Structure 1
Amino acid sequence: MNLNDLSLFIRVVETGSFTAAADSLNVQKSTISRRIAQLEDTLGIRLIQRTTRKLKLTPEGEELFNRAQPLVDDLEAVQDDISASKTELRGRLRLTMPTEIGVFMMNEVITSFMQTYPKLEVDVELSTRTVDLIEEGVDLALRLGPLPNSSLIARHIAGLHRGLFATPEYLEQHGMPKTPDDLAHHQCISLLKPFDHLRFTNWNDNEPVTMGGRLRTNSMSFVREMILQGMGIGRLPEVFCGELVKTGRIVRVLDEFTLDPLEINALYASRRNLNPRVRAFLDHMSERLRDHPWVQNRLVHLDG
C-alpha cells in the first residue's frame, strides 16, 4: 500500500470532496482521483462511492479511514520533526486572521518570520469569516474575543489595550460622558456580532454597559473612519487610534475607566501534533510581541 495514496484518501474524507482536498494540497483534482483509484486497485476494494453531488464511504472505506488516520498523522508528525532537526524549515504555512490584526500588528511579525526562514512560503488570508481549518487546509488562525467550544486547540497570544474615542467636534456638540452609564444616551458606533460586551473593570462590578447609537459594522477600520466623520463614540484597540490621538483628530473618552482587553488567540487542529512550521511561527510571534506597546499582557513561550 502506498502511504502517499493513503494520505490523499484521508485528506479527501476530511475535506469531504476531491476538489476541496486538491485545493488544500495545491494539486490537480485529477491527480487525487487517479491516486485514489490506484489505492482501490491495490486493495481490491471500493473505498468511496462517487455521485454527482457528494462522496460516501463504503463500509470498507470507513474502516480504513478510522484505523489509518491516527497512524498517518503520527507518521507525518515524525517526518516533520525529523526534517526540522536536520534542515531549516521549508514548505508552506497557511494562516488566517482578521484584517486589522494582519495590517496593524502581524505585518512586522510575518515580515521578520519570513526573513528568519527564507525557504518557507506563507499564505495569509485576511478575513472576518470563521475559517474551517481542517476542511480548508489552514494551519493556524488568529481570532479575537471569546472562543466558542470546538475541537481545536486554542493558545492565548495577547490582550490588546482598548479605549473609547470620539472627535472633539462630536464631544463639543453632544457633551463628554461622565460615567459609562452616559453612553446609553450617546451615538455609539458598535460592532455587528460583538466580540464581547462593553465592560469596565472599575465600574459596576464589570457588568455590561449599554451603548446607544444607530450605526453598526463588522469592521474595526470602518469604526475608526466613522469616528473621524464625527458619527459618534467608538471602542477600538489603541493600535488603531494612537497616532490620531497624538495629532488631536480624536480624543479618548472615559479614559479613567478601564476596559477589558481584547483577547487574541491562536487556533490549530487538535487532531495533529503541532508541526514545526506552526511551532516556529508561534514562538516567533510570541518573541516579537513580548514587549509590544499595544499588548496588555505578556506572552509566554511554548513548552515542549
Structure 2
Amino acid sequence: MAINDLSLLRLFVQVVEAGTLSATARKLNISLPVVSRRLRLLENNLGARLLQRTTRRQSLTAEGRLFYQRAVQILADLEQVEQQLSRHSATVSGHLRVTAPVALGRRRITPLLAEFRALHPQLHVQLELTDTVLDLVESGVDLAVRYGALDDSSYISQPLAPNHRILCASPDYLQHHGEPRHPTELVHHQCLQIGHQTQTEWRFEGDEPVTVKIAATLVANDGDAVHQWALAGHGIARKSIWDVAEDLRVGRLVQVLADYPIPAAPLHAIYPHRRHLTLRVRAFLDYLAAHLGTAA
C-alpha cells in the first residue's frame, strides 16, 4: 500500500465532513465523477473499502473510521508544522466546528464563539446546538462542550469549569403540590426528565446516599424544553446551575431538596484526537477555559 498524494487524504476528509460526494464536489467546484474516481483510487491504494455508499447516504466502514481519524491527525500535524514555519504562524484561521447542549450553547457558548471569532477575522465558525451526543468523527466536529466526561477512549476529555446540578420547580407548582422534604417523596410528585426514558433513577449524595426511582410525567430530549416546563409549573426538574441560576436569583424557580446534593457533572471539552490539535482548536480551548469561569 502506498499513498503518495496528500490531496487524496484531504479529499477523503472533506467527503466525510461534507456528508456526500455531491456536496464535496460542489464545495471543491469539481465534477462528481472526479470525486468518485479519486475516492476509488484511494480505496484501491489502501486495499480497503472506506465508505458504504447508496444513492441517498454514506457511512464510514470500520476501516474508514480508523483511516479518517489518522488522516485528520496527519493533516493537523502538517498544518501545525506549516503554521510554525510560516511568518503568520500566530494567525488563527480555517474552519472551526463546535457542538454544545442547546441551553448551555445559547446562554454561554454562542456569545463566546462570537467574541472569539471577532478576535480572529480569518476564522470561520460553525456551531451545532444539540442535546444528542454526536459522533465527532462522523459529524466532522472539532470540539464538543458537554456535561461530564465521555467513556469513549478514542476521545480526549478536558475539564473546563465546575458545574453542579439541582432540583428546582416553580413557586406555583410548590404552592399547589407542596415541597418534598426527602428524596423518597419525589415518587408522589410530577418529575420532568431530560432524555428518552420515562423510568429513571435520580441519585443523591451526602451522609446517607439515596437513589430514587422516578416515573417522569414529561420527558424531552431537549433540556430547554424541560426548563420551560419547570417555569410553567408542570413539575420538578433536575437542571444544571448554568441553566437556571438567573431563574433562581429572580424567583422564577425555587431550589428543591437543597440538603441532598446531586452528583456533579463538570463541563468538559471533548475532542477526537490524541496528538497535536490545530491552532484554532487549541486557541478556542484556551479561550473557553479562561472565560467560562465558575457557574453563576
TM range (shorter): 0.7 to 0.9
Q: 1:159 to 1:41 in 2, by over 3 A?
A: closer
Which residue of the other structure, out of 203, 212, 221, is the alignment partner of 1:199?
203
Which residue of the other structure, out of 240, 249, 274, is the alignment partner of 1:246?
249
Please name the residue that 1:181 is paired with. Answer: 184
How far apart in 2 are the matches of 1:170 and 1:45?
65
Report which stretch shifted further, 232-241 or 120-129: 232-241
Which residue of the other structure, out of 116, 120, 123, is the alignment partner of 1:117?
120
- 1:1-150 matched pairs, under 5 angstroms: 3-11=5-13, 19=21, 22=24, 26-28=27-29, 30=31, 33-34=33-34, 37=37, 53=54, 69=71, 72=75, 74-83=77-86, 86-150=89-153
Query: Once the two structures are superposed, what CA deviation does each residue of 1:123-149 show, in whole Å capped at 9, x if it has no partner?
Result: 101112332322232211122345232
Query: Once the two structures are superposed, what CA deviation does each residue of 1:248-297 show, in whole Å capped at 9, x if it has no partner?
Result: 3322111222222233222212265211110000000000012x333xxx
Q: 1:89 to 1:275 in 2, by over 3 A?
A: same
Structure 2 alignment gaps of length 5 or more = none
- 1:265-304 matched pairs, under 5 angstroms: 265-270=268-273, 273-290=276-293, 292-294=294-296
Q: 1:285 to 1:6 in 2, by over 3 A?
A: same
Please name the residue that 2:234 is paired with. Answer: 231
Query: Once the two structures are superposed, what CA deviation does each residue of 1:131-189 show, in whole Å capped at 9, x if it has no partner?
Result: 23222322111223452324122222223232211122222222211112211221111
Q: 1:128 to 1:287 in 2, by over 3 A?
A: same
Please name the residue that 2:214 is paired with. Answer: 211
Please name the residue that 1:302 is paired with. Answer: none
Classify the secondary structure of the residue corresponding to 2:213: coil
TM-score, with structure 1 as normaliser: 0.75
How far apart in 2 are the matches of 1:246 and 1:40?
59
One-letter identity of the residue aligned with 2:10 = L
Give the greater-gyration-radius structure (CA): 1
Q: 1:264 to 1:36 in 2, by over 3 A?
A: same
RMSD value over aligned CA atoms? 3.9
Q: 1:272 to 1:134 in 2, by over 3 A?
A: farther
One-letter identity of the residue aligned with 1:258 = P
Classify the secondary structure of the residue corresponding to 1:209: strand
Kept in 2, the 8 Å contact 1:186–1:211? The answer is no
How far 1:236 moved relative to its partner? 1.1
Q: Percent identity?
A: 30
Q: 1:5 to 1:164 in 2, by over 3 A?
A: same
Q: 1:29 to 1:175 in 2, by over 3 A?
A: farther
Kept in 1, the 8 Å contact 2:183–2:257? The answer is yes
Please name the residue that 2:259 is paired with. Answer: 256
Q: 1:22 to 1:133 in 2, by over 3 A?
A: farther
How far apart in 2 are the matches of 1:201 and 1:144?
18
Kept in 2, the 8 Å contact 1:11–1:21? The answer is no
How far apart in 1 are the matches of 2:99 and 2:111?
16
How far 1:105 moved relative to its partner? 1.5
Kept in 2, the 8 Å contact 1:5–1:36? The answer is no
Kept in 1, the 8 Å contact 2:12–2:39? The answer is no
Please name the residue that 1:297 is paired with. Answer: none
Classify the secondary structure of the residue corresponding to 2:124: strand
Classify the secondary structure of the residue corresponding to 1:125: strand
Q: 1:2 to 1:191 in 2, by over 3 A?
A: same
How far apart in 1 are the matches of 2:53 and 2:41?
22
